[in-house]
Amino acid sequence: MPYSRLCFLLLSLVCFVVVGCPPGSGDDDDSAAGDDDDDAPVGEPPVVADVELCEMPNSNDDCGEGAGPGVFQLAFDVTMTDEDGDLNNPVYFLIIDAPPAVNGFLEANLGEGGMVRIRMCSEWVRGASFDYELWVRDAAGNDSERFVDSYTVPAEGADDCAPL
């Protein structure tokens, strides 16, 4: 191999190692700035506009077999919007007092927004307060900002949910 060709190959190899793959080479390490093939969410994130809590009346039976006498459902009525209309079958995340988050899939085509009711069974302590965080993820994978608030569990019958 001629000396000049060997120098060209070595110089090309050093340049490739220092600079990386040229644009459009199919490199998919997601580390390059401006990389268009990222799996990042696209579009606008949803917005949790409001969360109202209430007690589901006479809900002990709905909490499953073996639920103790103090177990009942609280409902988290979540109002949300999504500017780009991809709030289809969103996933919710809910932290009550401390992680980990409870999550679930909401089978609902909300498009640009709407209201859903998330029911949680527990042995809620009447008069006790708890902090919570709630956020949702839309069909494109965008997470809303966390809605953070607190709630005081009411006396029985004092804050019953209205039917949807």
Q: How many CA atoms lie within 13 A of 27 on its CB side?
A: 15
Which pLDDT band holds residue 32 (cuts at 50, 70, 90)?
low
Query: Considering only 33-37, 41-45, 147-151, which range has the smallest mean pLDDT?
Result: 33-37
Decide if 89 is inside a domain.
yes
Model-wide pTM > 0.85: no
Residue 49: name the closest of 131, 110, 140 by CA: 110
Q: How many domains does the chain have?
A: 1
What the block records as the tokens of 107 is: 């089978």
Domain of residue 105 covers 47-152
pLDDT above 70 covers a percentage of the chain that reads: 77
CATH number reported for the structural domain that contains residue 148 in this entry: 2.60.40.10
